[in-house]
A and B are shown apart, each in its own frame.
Chain A
Amino acid sequence: MMIYPTLQTLRFSISAVRLPTFETTFVGLANFAAVIGDSATGLLLERTIWWVVGTVVLRFVLGFLAALVFNAKVRGTTWMRVLVLLPWTIPAVVAANLWRWILQSDSGILDQSLTAWGLTGWARNWLGNPHTALPAVMIAYSWAGFPFIMLLILAGLRGVPGEQYEAASVDGANWWQLFRFITVPAVKGVLAIALILETVSAVNSFDTLTVMTGGGPANATQTWSLAIYRAGFVDFNLGGASALSVLMFLGALVLLAVYSAANRGGQVKQAWR
Protein backbone atom coordinates (compact mmCIF):
# COMPACT_ATOMS: atom_id res chain seq x y z
CA MET A 1 0.00 0.00 0.00
CA MET A 2 2.87 2.36 0.64
CA ILE A 3 5.46 0.62 -1.50
CA TYR A 4 3.69 1.09 -4.81
CA PRO A 5 3.30 4.86 -4.38
CA THR A 6 6.94 5.08 -3.36
CA LEU A 7 8.00 3.25 -6.51
CA GLN A 8 5.75 5.53 -8.51
CA THR A 9 7.47 8.53 -6.95
CA LEU A 10 10.78 7.06 -8.08
CA ARG A 11 9.47 6.70 -11.62
CA PHE A 12 8.16 10.25 -11.73
CA SER A 13 11.41 11.58 -10.38
CA ILE A 14 13.21 10.47 -13.53
CA SER A 15 10.45 11.63 -15.86
CA ALA A 16 9.00 14.82 -17.16
CA VAL A 17 5.30 14.74 -16.37
CA ARG A 18 3.11 16.54 -18.85
CA LEU A 19 -0.15 18.00 -17.64
CA PRO A 20 -3.07 17.47 -17.82
CA THR A 21 -2.63 13.98 -19.29
CA PHE A 22 0.14 12.86 -16.92
CA GLU A 23 2.13 11.43 -19.80
CA THR A 24 5.65 10.75 -18.71
CA THR A 25 8.81 10.89 -20.75
CA PHE A 26 12.10 9.61 -19.47
CA VAL A 27 14.51 12.41 -18.72
CA GLY A 28 17.10 10.60 -16.66
CA LEU A 29 18.45 12.55 -13.76
CA ALA A 30 17.43 15.95 -15.10
CA ASN A 31 15.01 16.58 -12.25
CA PHE A 32 17.65 15.81 -9.68
CA ALA A 33 20.16 17.94 -11.52
CA ALA A 34 17.66 20.81 -11.44
CA VAL A 35 17.11 20.39 -7.71
CA ILE A 36 20.79 20.11 -6.89
CA GLY A 37 21.75 22.87 -9.29
CA ASP A 38 19.21 25.24 -7.73
CA SER A 39 21.00 27.64 -5.43
CA ALA A 40 17.97 27.69 -3.10
CA THR A 41 18.31 23.96 -2.32
CA GLY A 42 21.30 24.41 -0.03
CA LEU A 43 19.43 26.99 2.02
CA LEU A 44 16.35 24.79 2.02
CA LEU A 45 18.33 21.86 3.40
CA GLU A 46 19.97 24.04 6.01
CA ARG A 47 16.62 25.46 7.08
CA THR A 48 15.05 22.00 7.25
CA ILE A 49 17.87 20.73 9.45
CA TRP A 50 17.49 23.76 11.73
CA TRP A 51 13.78 23.16 11.93
CA VAL A 52 14.09 19.46 12.73
CA VAL A 53 16.90 19.83 15.25
CA GLY A 54 15.38 22.90 16.86
CA THR A 55 11.89 21.49 17.33
CA VAL A 56 13.11 18.07 18.45
CA VAL A 57 15.45 19.61 21.04
CA LEU A 58 12.78 22.04 22.28
CA ARG A 59 10.18 19.33 22.58
CA PHE A 60 12.57 16.99 24.37
CA VAL A 61 13.82 19.57 26.84
CA LEU A 62 10.32 20.74 27.70
CA GLY A 63 8.92 17.21 27.76
CA PHE A 64 11.71 15.84 29.91
CA LEU A 65 11.52 18.65 32.46
CA ALA A 66 7.76 18.38 32.67
CA ALA A 67 8.02 14.61 33.13
CA LEU A 68 10.49 15.04 35.99
CA VAL A 69 8.19 17.54 37.68
CA PHE A 70 5.09 15.41 37.38
CA ASN A 71 6.90 12.24 38.32
CA ALA A 72 7.77 13.70 41.72
CA LYS A 73 4.40 12.36 42.91
CA VAL A 74 3.58 15.38 44.99
CA ARG A 75 -0.04 15.25 46.05
CA GLY A 76 -2.37 17.54 44.16
CA THR A 77 -0.44 17.74 40.89
CA THR A 78 -2.65 15.42 38.85
CA TRP A 79 -4.91 18.25 37.73
CA MET A 80 -1.81 20.09 36.54
CA ARG A 81 -0.71 17.14 34.44
CA VAL A 82 -4.11 16.97 32.78
CA LEU A 83 -4.01 20.68 31.94
CA VAL A 84 -0.46 20.45 30.58
CA LEU A 85 -1.67 17.80 28.12
CA LEU A 86 -4.21 20.13 26.50
CA PRO A 87 -1.98 21.64 23.77
CA TRP A 88 -1.23 18.16 22.48
CA THR A 89 -4.91 17.27 22.21
CA ILE A 90 -6.05 20.14 20.02
CA PRO A 91 -5.81 19.79 16.22
CA ALA A 92 -2.62 21.17 14.68
CA VAL A 93 -4.53 23.62 12.51
CA VAL A 94 -6.23 25.04 15.60
CA ALA A 95 -2.92 25.39 17.46
CA ALA A 96 -1.37 27.11 14.47
CA ASN A 97 -4.22 29.59 14.15
CA LEU A 98 -4.15 30.30 17.86
CA TRP A 99 -0.46 31.14 17.75
CA ARG A 100 -0.90 33.19 14.61
CA TRP A 101 -3.43 35.29 16.50
CA ILE A 102 -1.17 35.57 19.55
CA LEU A 103 1.82 36.60 17.46
CA GLN A 104 -0.01 39.18 15.31
CA SER A 105 1.99 42.35 15.08
CA ASP A 106 0.51 45.19 17.17
CA SER A 107 -2.90 43.65 17.87
CA GLY A 108 -1.53 40.28 19.03
CA ILE A 109 -1.60 39.58 22.75
CA LEU A 110 2.16 39.10 22.93
CA ASP A 111 3.04 42.49 21.48
CA GLN A 112 0.25 44.16 23.44
CA SER A 113 1.45 42.64 26.70
CA LEU A 114 5.03 43.62 25.96
CA THR A 115 3.91 47.18 25.29
CA ALA A 116 1.78 47.22 28.41
CA TRP A 117 4.76 46.10 30.48
CA GLY A 118 6.86 48.89 29.01
CA LEU A 119 8.92 46.59 26.80
CA THR A 120 7.91 48.32 23.59
CA GLY A 121 11.31 47.65 22.09
CA TRP A 122 10.65 43.90 22.27
CA ALA A 123 7.39 44.00 20.39
CA ARG A 124 7.74 43.13 16.75
CA ASN A 125 6.08 41.51 13.79
CA TRP A 126 7.09 38.01 14.87
CA LEU A 127 5.80 36.10 11.87
CA GLY A 128 6.52 38.84 9.34
CA ASN A 129 10.19 39.21 10.16
CA PRO A 130 12.48 36.67 8.44
CA HIS A 131 14.70 36.53 11.54
CA THR A 132 11.99 35.72 14.06
CA ALA A 133 9.50 33.77 11.93
CA LEU A 134 11.19 30.37 12.10
CA PRO A 135 11.89 30.45 15.86
CA ALA A 136 8.32 31.66 16.46
CA VAL A 137 6.83 28.75 14.53
CA MET A 138 9.23 26.38 16.29
CA ILE A 139 7.94 27.51 19.66
CA ALA A 140 4.32 27.08 18.58
CA TYR A 141 5.08 23.65 17.17
CA SER A 142 6.96 22.54 20.29
CA TRP A 143 4.20 23.90 22.50
CA ALA A 144 1.78 21.56 20.76
CA GLY A 145 4.11 18.57 20.89
CA PHE A 146 5.98 18.50 24.17
CA PRO A 147 3.17 16.89 26.25
CA PHE A 148 3.49 13.76 24.14
CA ILE A 149 7.17 13.43 25.02
CA MET A 150 6.24 14.09 28.63
CA LEU A 151 3.73 11.23 28.55
CA LEU A 152 6.22 8.82 27.01
CA ILE A 153 8.94 9.67 29.51
CA LEU A 154 6.49 9.45 32.40
CA ALA A 155 5.55 5.98 31.21
CA GLY A 156 9.22 5.05 31.10
CA LEU A 157 9.86 6.43 34.57
CA ARG A 158 6.98 4.50 36.05
CA GLY A 159 9.01 1.31 35.66
CA VAL A 160 11.81 2.55 37.95
CA PRO A 161 11.52 1.23 41.50
CA GLY A 162 11.91 3.94 44.13
CA GLU A 163 14.32 1.78 46.08
CA GLN A 164 16.97 2.37 43.42
CA TYR A 165 17.03 6.08 44.23
CA GLU A 166 17.01 5.46 47.94
CA ALA A 167 19.84 2.95 47.76
CA ALA A 168 21.89 5.26 45.58
CA SER A 169 21.37 8.32 47.76
CA VAL A 170 22.24 6.36 50.87
CA ASP A 171 25.47 5.53 49.07
CA GLY A 172 26.03 9.24 48.66
CA ALA A 173 25.00 9.87 45.07
CA ASN A 174 24.10 13.48 44.27
CA TRP A 175 21.07 14.48 42.19
CA TRP A 176 23.04 14.64 38.97
CA GLN A 177 24.37 11.12 39.47
CA LEU A 178 20.88 9.88 40.27
CA PHE A 179 19.63 11.50 37.10
CA ARG A 180 22.52 10.33 34.94
CA PHE A 181 22.77 6.74 36.19
CA ILE A 182 19.20 5.85 37.15
CA THR A 183 16.72 8.12 35.40
CA VAL A 184 18.36 8.32 31.99
CA PRO A 185 19.04 4.58 31.57
CA ALA A 186 15.48 3.85 32.68
CA VAL A 187 13.92 5.96 29.94
CA LYS A 188 16.49 5.20 27.23
CA GLY A 189 14.20 2.88 25.27
CA VAL A 190 11.33 5.32 25.38
CA LEU A 191 13.60 8.19 24.41
CA ALA A 192 14.81 6.26 21.39
CA ILE A 193 11.28 5.71 20.14
CA ALA A 194 10.28 9.26 20.90
CA LEU A 195 13.31 10.50 19.00
CA ILE A 196 12.35 8.61 15.85
CA LEU A 197 8.70 9.59 16.03
CA GLU A 198 9.52 13.23 16.65
CA THR A 199 12.15 13.42 13.94
CA VAL A 200 9.75 11.98 11.41
CA SER A 201 6.94 14.23 12.49
CA ALA A 202 9.22 17.29 12.32
CA VAL A 203 10.39 16.37 8.82
CA ASN A 204 6.77 15.72 7.90
CA SER A 205 5.28 18.76 9.54
CA PHE A 206 3.32 20.75 7.12
CA ASP A 207 0.17 22.08 8.76
CA THR A 208 1.71 24.33 11.43
CA LEU A 209 4.12 25.95 8.99
CA THR A 210 1.54 26.32 6.24
CA VAL A 211 -1.08 27.89 8.46
CA MET A 212 1.23 30.18 10.40
CA THR A 213 3.46 31.51 7.65
CA GLY A 214 2.92 29.52 4.45
CA GLY A 215 6.70 29.31 4.11
CA GLY A 216 7.21 33.08 4.17
CA PRO A 217 8.36 35.74 4.80
CA ALA A 218 10.92 35.57 2.00
CA ASN A 219 11.02 31.75 2.31
CA ALA A 220 12.30 32.07 5.88
CA THR A 221 10.09 29.18 7.03
CA GLN A 222 10.13 27.11 3.85
CA THR A 223 11.12 23.56 4.78
CA TRP A 224 11.60 20.50 2.61
CA SER A 225 8.02 19.27 2.89
CA LEU A 226 6.61 22.69 2.05
CA ALA A 227 8.95 22.78 -0.94
CA ILE A 228 7.55 19.45 -2.19
CA TYR A 229 4.04 20.81 -1.91
CA ARG A 230 4.94 24.03 -3.65
CA ALA A 231 6.80 22.32 -6.50
CA GLY A 232 4.02 19.81 -7.05
CA PHE A 233 0.82 21.68 -6.41
CA VAL A 234 1.61 25.37 -6.83
CA ASP A 235 4.10 25.18 -9.70
CA PHE A 236 2.68 21.87 -11.00
CA ASN A 237 6.14 20.51 -11.57
CA LEU A 238 5.36 16.93 -10.56
CA GLY A 239 8.73 15.60 -11.74
CA GLY A 240 10.56 18.13 -9.61
CA ALA A 241 8.32 17.41 -6.63
CA SER A 242 9.04 13.71 -7.04
CA ALA A 243 12.77 14.34 -7.17
CA LEU A 244 12.49 16.32 -3.93
CA SER A 245 10.41 13.49 -2.45
CA VAL A 246 12.99 10.86 -3.38
CA LEU A 247 15.77 12.93 -1.82
CA MET A 248 13.71 13.34 1.34
CA PHE A 249 13.02 9.63 1.38
CA LEU A 250 16.73 8.89 1.09
CA GLY A 251 17.40 11.35 3.88
CA ALA A 252 14.88 9.56 6.09
CA LEU A 253 16.46 6.21 5.23
CA VAL A 254 19.92 7.49 6.14
CA LEU A 255 18.59 8.86 9.42
CA LEU A 256 16.97 5.54 10.26
CA ALA A 257 20.12 3.62 9.33
CA VAL A 258 22.27 5.89 11.48
CA TYR A 259 19.79 5.54 14.27
CA SER A 260 19.58 1.76 14.20
CA ALA A 261 23.36 1.48 13.93
CA ALA A 262 23.70 3.70 16.98
CA ASN A 263 21.13 1.63 18.78
CA ARG A 264 22.63 -1.73 17.81
CA GLY A 265 19.35 -2.54 16.05
CA GLY A 266 16.30 -4.24 17.39
CA GLN A 267 14.87 -1.40 19.45
CA VAL A 268 12.61 -0.02 16.77
CA LYS A 269 11.08 -3.37 16.12
CA GLN A 270 10.53 -3.96 19.79
CA ALA A 271 8.63 -0.73 20.04
CA TRP A 272 5.98 -2.15 17.80
CA ARG A 273 5.73 -5.58 19.20
Chain B
Amino acid sequence: MTPLETHGRPAQARGLTAAGPRITKKQTARVGRYVLVYACGLFFVCFSVVPLIWGVSTALKTTNDQYAYPPKWIPDPVTFEHFISVLHNAAIIRGFVNTVIVATSTTAIALAVGILGGYGFSRFRFPGRNTLLWSVLFTQLFPRVVVIVPFFITLRHLHLMNTLPGLVLVYLMVVFPVSIWLIKGFFDSLPVEIEEAAVVDGCTIPRLLWRIVLPMAKPALVAVAMYSFILAWNEFLFALVFTQGLDKRLLSVALAFFIDENGIRWGDLMAASLLMSIPAVIVFTFSQRLLVRGLSEGALRG
Protein backbone atom coordinates (compact mmCIF):
# COMPACT_ATOMS: atom_id res chain seq x y z
CA MET B 1 0.00 0.00 0.00
CA THR B 2 1.60 3.20 -1.12
CA PRO B 3 0.52 6.56 -2.36
CA LEU B 4 0.48 5.07 -5.85
CA GLU B 5 -2.26 2.77 -4.84
CA THR B 6 -4.46 5.55 -3.65
CA HIS B 7 -4.75 7.21 -7.03
CA GLY B 8 -8.00 5.43 -7.56
CA ARG B 9 -9.56 6.65 -4.35
CA PRO B 10 -10.99 10.07 -5.27
CA ALA B 11 -12.79 8.56 -8.24
CA GLN B 12 -14.20 5.91 -5.98
CA ALA B 13 -15.41 8.49 -3.48
CA ARG B 14 -17.09 10.52 -6.19
CA GLY B 15 -18.56 7.38 -7.69
CA LEU B 16 -20.50 6.73 -4.52
CA THR B 17 -22.56 9.87 -5.00
CA ALA B 18 -23.13 9.63 -8.75
CA ALA B 19 -24.39 6.16 -9.56
CA GLY B 20 -24.21 6.43 -13.36
CA PRO B 21 -20.56 6.85 -14.45
CA ARG B 22 -19.27 5.04 -11.38
CA ILE B 23 -17.94 1.92 -13.03
CA THR B 24 -16.22 3.63 -15.92
CA LYS B 25 -14.52 6.18 -13.68
CA LYS B 26 -13.39 3.51 -11.33
CA GLN B 27 -12.10 1.45 -14.20
CA THR B 28 -10.26 4.36 -15.76
CA ALA B 29 -8.60 5.09 -12.44
CA ARG B 30 -7.61 1.49 -12.05
CA VAL B 31 -6.24 1.25 -15.56
CA GLY B 32 -4.40 4.51 -15.01
CA ARG B 33 -2.80 3.15 -11.88
CA TYR B 34 -1.91 -0.06 -13.67
CA VAL B 35 -0.23 1.82 -16.49
CA LEU B 36 1.63 4.10 -14.10
CA VAL B 37 2.95 1.28 -11.91
CA TYR B 38 3.85 -0.82 -14.92
CA ALA B 39 5.65 2.03 -16.63
CA CYS B 40 7.65 2.87 -13.51
CA GLY B 41 8.38 -0.81 -12.94
CA LEU B 42 9.60 -1.21 -16.50
CA PHE B 43 11.83 1.82 -16.10
CA PHE B 44 13.55 0.21 -13.13
CA VAL B 45 13.81 -3.12 -14.93
CA CYS B 46 15.52 -1.42 -17.86
CA PHE B 47 17.86 0.50 -15.58
CA SER B 48 18.87 -2.72 -13.83
CA VAL B 49 18.92 -5.13 -16.72
CA VAL B 50 20.09 -3.25 -19.82
CA PRO B 51 23.72 -3.01 -18.64
CA LEU B 52 23.62 -6.72 -17.81
CA ILE B 53 22.22 -7.60 -21.22
CA TRP B 54 25.05 -5.69 -22.82
CA GLY B 55 27.53 -7.73 -20.78
CA VAL B 56 25.93 -11.02 -21.75
CA SER B 57 25.71 -9.95 -25.36
CA THR B 58 29.41 -9.03 -25.32
CA ALA B 59 30.30 -12.45 -23.97
CA LEU B 60 28.39 -14.17 -26.77
CA LYS B 61 29.49 -12.32 -29.89
CA THR B 62 32.59 -12.30 -32.02
CA THR B 63 35.33 -9.85 -31.17
CA ASN B 64 34.68 -7.89 -34.38
CA ASP B 65 31.01 -7.49 -33.57
CA GLN B 66 31.87 -6.05 -30.17
CA TYR B 67 33.11 -2.88 -31.79
CA ALA B 68 30.49 -2.80 -34.55
CA TYR B 69 28.81 0.50 -35.27
CA PRO B 70 25.89 0.93 -34.84
CA PRO B 71 26.11 -1.34 -31.78
CA LYS B 72 24.75 -4.86 -32.17
CA TRP B 73 22.71 -5.88 -29.14
CA ILE B 74 21.80 -9.34 -30.35
CA PRO B 75 24.82 -11.54 -31.01
CA ASP B 76 24.71 -12.82 -34.58
CA PRO B 77 26.41 -15.22 -35.01
CA VAL B 78 26.38 -16.47 -31.41
CA THR B 79 29.81 -17.69 -30.41
CA PHE B 80 31.14 -19.49 -27.37
CA GLU B 81 34.77 -18.76 -28.23
CA HIS B 82 35.13 -16.42 -25.25
CA PHE B 83 33.91 -19.03 -22.81
CA ILE B 84 36.26 -21.60 -24.32
CA SER B 85 39.16 -19.18 -24.16
CA VAL B 86 38.35 -18.43 -20.51
CA LEU B 87 38.34 -22.12 -19.69
CA HIS B 88 41.80 -22.36 -21.23
CA ASN B 89 43.07 -19.31 -19.39
CA ALA B 90 45.44 -20.56 -16.68
CA ALA B 91 45.16 -17.41 -14.55
CA ILE B 92 41.38 -17.54 -14.47
CA ILE B 93 41.28 -21.25 -13.70
CA ARG B 94 43.87 -20.78 -10.96
CA GLY B 95 41.80 -17.94 -9.50
CA PHE B 96 38.66 -20.01 -9.71
CA VAL B 97 40.23 -22.98 -7.90
CA ASN B 98 41.73 -20.69 -5.24
CA THR B 99 38.40 -18.97 -4.71
CA VAL B 100 36.55 -22.25 -4.37
CA ILE B 101 39.12 -23.48 -1.83
CA VAL B 102 39.02 -20.28 0.21
CA ALA B 103 35.24 -19.90 0.09
CA THR B 104 34.48 -23.50 1.08
CA SER B 105 37.07 -23.58 3.88
CA THR B 106 35.80 -20.27 5.24
CA THR B 107 32.25 -21.59 5.15
CA ALA B 108 33.11 -24.91 6.80
CA ILE B 109 35.12 -23.35 9.62
CA ALA B 110 32.59 -20.56 10.14
CA LEU B 111 29.87 -23.16 10.51
CA ALA B 112 31.81 -25.36 12.92
CA VAL B 113 32.87 -22.47 15.13
CA GLY B 114 29.49 -20.80 14.79
CA ILE B 115 27.70 -23.90 16.02
CA LEU B 116 29.96 -24.46 19.01
CA GLY B 117 30.25 -20.78 19.89
CA GLY B 118 26.59 -20.08 19.28
CA TYR B 119 25.59 -22.98 21.49
CA GLY B 120 27.86 -21.79 24.26
CA PHE B 121 26.65 -18.21 24.04
CA SER B 122 23.06 -19.32 23.96
CA ARG B 123 22.98 -21.93 26.72
CA PHE B 124 25.57 -20.79 29.24
CA ARG B 125 25.97 -17.60 31.19
CA PHE B 126 29.50 -16.42 31.69
CA PRO B 127 31.29 -13.12 32.14
CA GLY B 128 31.95 -11.30 28.87
CA ARG B 129 28.90 -12.65 27.16
CA ASN B 130 27.95 -9.22 25.87
CA THR B 131 31.20 -8.81 24.00
CA LEU B 132 29.63 -10.83 21.20
CA LEU B 133 27.13 -8.12 20.37
CA TRP B 134 29.88 -5.56 20.33
CA SER B 135 32.13 -7.59 18.11
CA VAL B 136 29.26 -8.08 15.68
CA LEU B 137 28.62 -4.37 15.57
CA PHE B 138 32.32 -3.74 15.32
CA THR B 139 32.98 -5.98 12.36
CA GLN B 140 29.91 -4.81 10.52
CA LEU B 141 29.98 -1.11 11.22
CA PHE B 142 33.64 -0.24 11.09
CA PRO B 143 35.54 0.35 7.89
CA ARG B 144 37.44 -2.76 6.92
CA VAL B 145 40.13 -0.70 5.29
CA VAL B 146 41.19 0.47 8.74
CA VAL B 147 42.50 -2.96 9.71
CA ILE B 148 44.42 -3.91 6.57
CA VAL B 149 47.76 -2.67 7.91
CA PRO B 150 47.67 -4.66 11.19
CA PHE B 151 46.27 -7.71 9.40
CA PHE B 152 49.08 -7.43 6.87
CA ILE B 153 51.70 -7.36 9.60
CA THR B 154 50.08 -10.13 11.62
CA LEU B 155 50.01 -12.36 8.56
CA ARG B 156 53.70 -11.59 7.94
CA HIS B 157 54.53 -12.65 11.48
CA LEU B 158 52.55 -15.85 11.10
CA HIS B 159 54.24 -16.51 7.74
CA LEU B 160 50.81 -16.68 6.18
CA MET B 161 51.27 -13.83 3.72
CA ASN B 162 50.42 -14.89 0.20
CA THR B 163 48.88 -18.16 1.29
CA LEU B 164 45.30 -19.34 1.05
CA PRO B 165 45.08 -20.26 4.77
CA GLY B 166 46.08 -16.68 5.52
CA LEU B 167 43.18 -15.38 3.49
CA VAL B 168 40.80 -17.85 5.11
CA LEU B 169 41.98 -16.61 8.51
CA VAL B 170 41.28 -13.01 7.57
CA TYR B 171 37.81 -13.79 6.26
CA LEU B 172 37.03 -15.77 9.40
CA MET B 173 37.77 -12.64 11.45
CA VAL B 174 34.94 -10.94 9.62
CA VAL B 175 32.61 -13.93 9.51
CA PHE B 176 32.93 -15.32 13.06
CA PRO B 177 30.98 -12.71 15.00
CA VAL B 178 28.12 -12.76 12.51
CA SER B 179 27.96 -16.54 12.30
CA ILE B 180 28.07 -17.02 16.06
CA TRP B 181 25.48 -14.28 16.46
CA LEU B 182 23.06 -15.71 13.93
CA ILE B 183 23.33 -19.25 15.26
CA LYS B 184 23.06 -18.10 18.87
CA GLY B 185 19.91 -16.18 18.03
CA PHE B 186 18.41 -19.30 16.53
CA PHE B 187 19.40 -21.53 19.45
CA ASP B 188 17.81 -19.00 21.79
CA SER B 189 14.48 -19.62 20.13
CA LEU B 190 14.71 -23.42 20.53
CA PRO B 191 13.11 -24.79 23.72
CA VAL B 192 15.68 -25.98 26.23
CA GLU B 193 13.27 -28.67 27.48
CA ILE B 194 13.96 -30.97 24.51
CA GLU B 195 17.66 -30.97 25.32
CA GLU B 196 17.01 -31.46 29.02
CA ALA B 197 14.85 -34.45 28.25
CA ALA B 198 17.56 -35.91 26.04
CA VAL B 199 20.21 -35.44 28.72
CA VAL B 200 17.96 -37.08 31.29
CA ASP B 201 17.64 -40.00 28.90
CA GLY B 202 21.43 -40.33 28.90
CA CYS B 203 22.42 -38.45 25.75
CA THR B 204 25.97 -37.03 25.76
CA ILE B 205 26.54 -33.39 24.89
CA PRO B 206 28.26 -33.95 21.50
CA ARG B 207 25.54 -36.42 20.50
CA LEU B 208 22.90 -33.99 21.69
CA LEU B 209 24.35 -31.24 19.53
CA TRP B 210 24.74 -33.46 16.48
CA ARG B 211 21.52 -35.43 16.66
CA ILE B 212 19.01 -33.04 18.18
CA VAL B 213 20.08 -29.42 18.07
CA LEU B 214 21.63 -29.22 14.61
CA PRO B 215 18.73 -30.69 12.65
CA MET B 216 16.48 -28.08 14.25
CA ALA B 217 18.86 -25.24 13.48
CA LYS B 218 19.06 -25.86 9.75
CA PRO B 219 17.70 -22.44 8.63
CA ALA B 220 20.33 -20.60 10.66
CA LEU B 221 23.08 -22.86 9.34
CA VAL B 222 22.00 -22.22 5.76
CA ALA B 223 22.05 -18.48 6.38
CA VAL B 224 25.54 -18.61 7.87
CA ALA B 225 26.83 -20.82 5.08
CA MET B 226 25.49 -18.45 2.43
CA TYR B 227 26.84 -15.39 4.19
CA SER B 228 30.36 -16.77 4.59
CA PHE B 229 30.53 -18.29 1.14
CA ILE B 230 29.47 -15.09 -0.60
CA LEU B 231 31.75 -12.95 1.51
CA ALA B 232 34.76 -15.02 0.52
CA TRP B 233 33.58 -15.38 -3.07
CA ASN B 234 33.12 -11.66 -3.73
CA GLU B 235 35.74 -10.09 -1.48
CA PHE B 236 38.35 -7.99 -3.22
CA LEU B 237 40.30 -5.72 -0.86
CA PHE B 238 41.80 -8.39 1.40
CA ALA B 239 42.36 -10.71 -1.55
CA LEU B 240 44.31 -7.96 -3.27
CA VAL B 241 46.45 -6.88 -0.31
CA PHE B 242 47.28 -10.29 1.12
CA THR B 243 48.26 -12.08 -2.06
CA GLN B 244 50.97 -11.34 -4.58
CA GLY B 245 51.54 -12.73 -8.02
CA LEU B 246 49.30 -14.95 -10.09
CA ASP B 247 49.73 -18.07 -8.01
CA LYS B 248 47.53 -17.31 -5.04
CA ARG B 249 45.21 -14.81 -6.66
CA LEU B 250 41.49 -15.13 -6.12
CA LEU B 251 39.06 -14.83 -8.98
CA SER B 252 37.96 -11.33 -7.98
CA VAL B 253 41.53 -10.04 -8.22
CA ALA B 254 42.18 -11.96 -11.42
CA LEU B 255 39.16 -10.33 -13.03
CA ALA B 256 40.08 -6.89 -11.76
CA PHE B 257 43.47 -7.11 -13.47
CA PHE B 258 42.30 -8.95 -16.53
CA ILE B 259 44.60 -7.43 -19.09
CA ASP B 260 47.33 -8.74 -21.36
CA GLU B 261 49.69 -7.39 -23.99
CA ASN B 262 46.74 -6.86 -26.37
CA GLY B 263 44.85 -4.78 -23.85
CA ILE B 264 41.58 -5.97 -22.37
CA ARG B 265 39.74 -8.70 -24.24
CA TRP B 266 36.25 -7.65 -23.25
CA GLY B 267 34.54 -10.75 -24.62
CA ASP B 268 36.67 -13.01 -22.45
CA LEU B 269 36.32 -10.70 -19.46
CA MET B 270 32.54 -10.66 -19.76
CA ALA B 271 32.41 -14.43 -20.18
CA ALA B 272 34.54 -14.92 -17.07
CA SER B 273 32.45 -12.36 -15.17
CA LEU B 274 29.32 -14.23 -16.12
CA LEU B 275 30.76 -17.47 -14.80
CA MET B 276 31.88 -15.82 -11.57
CA SER B 277 28.46 -14.24 -11.08
CA ILE B 278 26.47 -17.46 -11.27
CA PRO B 279 27.05 -18.72 -7.69
CA ALA B 280 26.58 -15.24 -6.27
CA VAL B 281 23.35 -14.60 -8.16
CA ILE B 282 21.93 -17.95 -7.07
CA VAL B 283 22.85 -17.50 -3.42
CA PHE B 284 21.65 -13.91 -3.23
CA THR B 285 18.38 -14.63 -4.95
CA PHE B 286 17.65 -17.40 -2.49
CA SER B 287 18.91 -15.65 0.61
CA GLN B 288 17.50 -12.14 0.13
CA ARG B 289 14.35 -12.88 2.09
CA LEU B 290 16.36 -14.30 4.98
CA LEU B 291 18.86 -11.46 4.95
CA VAL B 292 16.32 -8.67 4.76
CA ARG B 293 14.14 -10.26 7.40
CA GLY B 294 17.07 -10.50 9.77
CA LEU B 295 17.98 -6.87 9.22
CA SER B 296 14.54 -5.32 9.31
CA GLU B 297 12.81 -7.41 11.94
CA GLY B 298 14.54 -5.70 14.84
CA ALA B 299 13.68 -2.35 13.32
CA LEU B 300 10.02 -3.22 12.95
CA ARG B 301 9.84 -4.44 16.48
CA GLY B 302 11.46 -1.27 17.82
Place the interface of chain A in its size category.
35 or more
Q: In the bound complex, do residue B37 and residue A77 qualify as a contact, i.e. CB atoms below 8 Å apart?
A: yes
Q: In the bound complex, do residue B295 and residue A229 qualify as a contact, i.e. CB atoms below 8 Å apart?
A: no
A178: chain B residues at CB < 8 Å are 3, 6
Q: In the bound complex, do residue A98 and residue B51 qualify as a contact, i.e. CB atoms below 8 Å apart?
A: yes
C-alpha gap A246/B37 in the complex (Å): 47
Q: In the bound complex, do residue B67 and residue A2 qualify as a contact, i.e. CB atoms below 8 Å apart?
A: no
Q: Does B137 contact A (CB under 8 A)?
A: yes
Q: Contact check: which of A81, A96, A113, A273 meets B71 at CB < 8 Å?
A: A113
Q: In the bound complex, do residue B149 and residue A204 qualify as a contact, i.e. CB atoms below 8 Å apart?
A: no
Per-position contact with A for B214-232: 1 when CB-CB < 8 Å, else 0? 0000000000000000000
B237: chain A residues at CB < 8 Å are 206-207, 229
Chain B interface, DSSP helix/strand/loop, else mixed: helix
Q: Across the interface, name the chain B residue whose C-beta is closest to A156.
A: B296
Q: In the bound complex, do residue A12 and residue B133 qualify as a contact, i.e. CB atoms below 8 Å apart?
A: no
Could you say which of A36-44, A86-94, A125-133 contacts chain B? A86-94
Q: Contact check: which of A66, A233, A267 meets B44 at CB < 8 Å?
A: A66
Q: In the bound complex, do residue A143 and residue B2 qualify as a contact, i.e. CB atoms below 8 Å apart?
A: no
C-alpha gap A169/B234 in the complex (Å): 46
Do A71 and B2 contact each other (CB < 8 Å), given the known contacts A65-B40, A249-B143? yes
Q: Contact check: which of A72, A93, A225 meets B145 at CB < 8 Å?
A: A225
B contacts, CB < 8 Å to A: 1-7, 9, 13, 33-34, 37-38, 40-42, 44-45, 47-49, 51-52, 54-55, 58, 66-67, 69-71, 133, 135-154, 156, 173, 176-177, 181, 233-234, 236-237, 240-241, 252, 255-256, 258, 266, 269-270, 273, 276-277, 280-281, 284-285, 288, 292-293, 295-296, 298-302
Name 17 A/B residue pairs within 8 A (Cβ), A-sorted: A3-B135, A9-B149, A69-B44, A72-B33, A72-B37, A80-B42, A90-B277, A101-B58, A102-B51, A116-B71, A152-B295, A193-B295, A193-B296, A200-B140, A238-B152, A248-B146, A271-B298
A contacts, CB < 8 Å to B: 1-6, 8-9, 12, 22, 62, 65-66, 68-74, 76-77, 80-94, 96-99, 101-102, 107, 109, 112-113, 115-116, 143, 147, 151-152, 154-157, 159-162, 164-166, 169-170, 175-176, 178-179, 183, 189-190, 192-193, 196-197, 200, 203-204, 206-207, 210-211, 224-225, 228-229, 232-233, 238, 241-242, 245-246, 248-249, 252, 256, 266-273
